[in-house]
Amino acid sequence: MLDTLVFVTVLLPFLVAAVLLVLREQNVRKVILVATAGVLILASLAMLRGGAFIMSPAPLWGSLVTLGDFLILAVVLLVGLKRKNQIIVWLTVAQIVGLIWFDFFMIQDHGATPAFFADDLSLVMVLVVSIVGSLIAVYGIGYMKEHEEHLHLTTSKQPQFFFFIVLFLGAMNGLVLANNMLWMYFFWECTTLCSFMLIGHDDTEIARKNAERALWMNVLGGTAFLFGVMLLYKVTGTLSLQEILARGPEFAVAGGAILVPMFLLVFAGMTKAAQAPFQSWLTGAMVAPTPVSALLHSSTMVKAGVYIIVRLAPIYAGTYFSNFVALFGGFVFLATACLAAGQSNGKKILAYSTISNLALIIACAGINTPAAITAAILLILFHAISKALMFLCVGAIEQKIGSRDIEDMRGLFARMPRTALVAVIGILTMMLPPFGMLMAKWMAIESAHGQFLLMIMLALGSGVTVLFWCRWAGLMLATPFAKAAPEAQDSTIRGPLYLLAGLAVVLSFFSPLVYNGLVAPVVAMYYKTAPYVLRFGNFESSTGVFLVYPLFILLGLGFFFALRQTRKITAAQAVGPYMCGEQTAVDGKPGFLGPLGQNVTAVSGNYYLEQFFGEAMLSKWINVIALAVLVIMLFGGAL
């Protein structure tokens, strides 16, 4: 049974991807994708029920993984040579040389390390990848049909697209289940290659440019990962992640020797998670089709980065290095939240808010207490759901109105009532108590108690997020007051939107059960004391209380009375704001009579504080400070 579940979650996507690559019949592709999504979801739930395990496949698979490593590096090297990108070329050559030395001269017995193991953290990650990632893949069926019609393609590129989408899911599941660090490196590089191919899918000049940037930054992280694994093996004498974690306290006492590979692996995680100064690869990935953006941001690429940082946290707990990780995360959390506040491009808002939330997870890993790790895992879970939902909403909206600018979404409820309401639900679950994201942020801020600077950065960053989320939600529900038109939508688009919105709300409502069933067991693996006590479904700790169900009751009452009052408003009472003159409407556009009796069309817009929060203003300084902290982290913390 165990072999079957690992096969389904890891190897099956590789096989399905190969079938999709040669399959040209669209209806058959749709059936295969939906069926694969269902199988992955059921397998991840069955794996969760089965609990922790450790296993080794036949030795042949180890040889295939080694061969796969060199094949991926060869492809990346060819890309670097073709694009004449010296950074990609030399970093890839360094990996090839390092891998040859490591594989054939350093490692004594390849078969001694079990390939896979799962504990409670791995099982949570498999759930996130298999459920959220599968829903994104299904959404891609309807989306890519319209996308290619918009591009007027004569030959469909969907076989290649879905090949890499499904391959991505298998690689990510393999990464979070890998026990052998060399197997993890293989899956790590698989995600790098998949992201490069997907970002450049449309093959426009800007797509190729951003795909190349994503590749060299992630190849840099891959190089750090490989040499980090080599140093870790030299210090610990094992490739087994499970054994390294079990002996974590022993290595922590040893001091700097273990912290050098920890720095390299954490650095690799930061590049994969697009942390400053490497955030440009993820913001540039917005040129890709929306399912790619959703997959990268919610359940695969960037989550691999924070996964490795959280996974290794017990090893560097209590060190100066851990403190630097927390400060780095806190700074990037606040800085990129400010960048998001200065954007009107919906995808860029989502991109910067993703980087910001990933930084918060990294800060929690650096704080390294039971409460902080609890917050990190809850953030991984709830962020994946809500952020995937928001990206898919933006994709549906963009195809309908031809824009991803939130100013063009003013009054969207009148044109796309279903999608607008689902998007507002997504926004509310990102910023409002008692939903899971806000609860996890509260836990993160609370866990920083006693670290004044970090606590201020986390509190300010959380406050800034409210600004851009409220602005966006308000625009979609804003005037003009018009009767909502019926909205037609493909079932493969509508289904994932509704399911993700339902998951975000339902899991938040049952957050005490989520904590007991998924999060508390992870924390218990490394800490003796539980961070929170549940009383009547509310979270209590030594520093505060989070009231889940009383807040849900207040929220429900607020919505009930607001809706009841709204229904009493007649069309005659629904008037626009006063505009310094008699109100008019020309071609349906509101305005007023200005000087000499001429009509003046009213134009409204938000203030984006570009002189304070603009990319041109902040990005350079954010990158300089982040790079300085990374240097200090290496020389001050690790050495």
Secondary structure letter of residue 405 according to DSSP: B
Predicted confidence (pLDDT) per residue in 157-204, tens digit: 999 999 999 999 999 999 999 999 999 999 999 999 999 999 999 999
Q: Are 354 and 294 in contact (CB under 8 A)?
A: no
Helix (H, G, I), strand (E, B) or coil at 211: helix
Q: What are the pLDDT digits (tens) for 220-236?
A: 999 999 999 999 999 99
For 319-347, the three-class secondary structure string (H helix, E strand, C coil) is: CHHHHHHHHHHHHHHHHHHHHHHCCCEHH
Q: pLDDT class for 592, splitting at 50, 70, 90?
A: confident
**CA distances, 477 to each of 196, 412, 434, 621 (Å):** 37, 7, 22, 36
Residues sharing a CB contact under 8 Å with residue 634, sequence separation 6 or more, in sequence order: 263
**Amino acid, single-letter form, for residue 140:** G
Following DSSP, what letter does each residue of 491-502 receive, concatenated?
HHHHHHHHHHHH
pLDDT at 277 over 90: yes
The H-or-E segment that residue 117 falls in is: strand 116-118
Q: Is the peptide bond before 57 cis (omega within 30 degrees of 0)?
A: no
Least confident of 30-44, 452-466, 536-550: 536-550
Q: How many residues would you count in the chain?
A: 639
SS3 601: strand
Cβ pair 89, 75 in contact under 8 A = no
d(CA 623, CA 131): 34
| Residue 350 pLDDT greater than 70, yes or no | yes
- DSSP letter (8 states) at residue 545: E
Which residues, listed in sequence order, are joined to residue 117 by a DSSP beta bridge?
54
Contacts of 616 (CB under 8 A, 6+ apart): 610
CA distances from 608 to 63, 448, 479 (A): 54, 30, 20
pLDDT value of position 58: 82
Cβ contact 282:355 at 8 Å = yes
Q: Write down the pTM of the prediction.
A: 0.95
Strands (E), 501-552: 533-535, 538-540, 545-546
Give the pLDDT band of residue 573 (cuts 50, 70, 90).
Answer: low
- Mark residue 503 as left, alpha or beta (left: phi above 0; alpha: psi -120 to 50; beta: remaining): alpha
Residue 619 CB contacts under 8 Å (≥ 6 apart), including other chains: 339
Residue 311 pLDDT exceeds 80: yes
Q: What is the pLDDT of residue 251?
A: 66
Whole-number Å distance between alpha carbons of 197 and 148 = 17
User: Above pLDDT 70, what percent of the chain?
Assistant: 96
Handedness of CA 483, 486, 489, 494 (dihedral sign): positive
Is-contact 29 22, C-beta < 8 A?
A: no
Strand segments (E) across 53-115: 53-55
- Write down the pLDDT at residue 96: 98
**Over residues 108-131, mean pLDDT:** 91
Query: What is the C-alpha separation between 114 and 107, in angstroms, rounded?
Result: 14
Helix, coil or strand: residue 42? helix
SS3 600: strand
The tens digit of pLDDT for each residue in 60-90 reads 888 899 999 999 999 999 999 999 999 999 9
> Which residues make Cβ contacts (< 8 Å) with residue 67, sequence separation at least 6?
none
Question: Nearest CA to 232 among 189, 182, 272, 279?
Answer: 182
The encoded tokens of residue 270 equal 């930061």
Residue type, 419: T
Tokens representing residue 92 in the block: 């890839």
Which of these ranges, 90-99, 270-279, 347-356, 557-566, has the smallest mean pLDDT?
557-566
**What Rg, from alpha-carbon coordinates, does the chain have?**
25
Of 374, 371, 269, 372, whose CA–CA distance to 312 is shortest? Answer: 269
Contacts of residue 483, Cβ cutoff 8 Å, sequence gap at least 6:
414
Alpha-carbon distance 415 to 484, whole Å? 6
The whole-angstrom separation of Cα 164 and Cα 450 is 45
CB atoms within 10 A of CB 146: 15
**Confidence at residue 2, expressed as pLDDT on a 0 to 100 scale:** 78
Q: How far apart are CA 384 and CA 128, in angstroms?
A: 7
User: In this structure, what token pair is assigned to residue 61?
Assistant: 């698979």
Cis peptide preceding 595, ω within 30 of 0: no
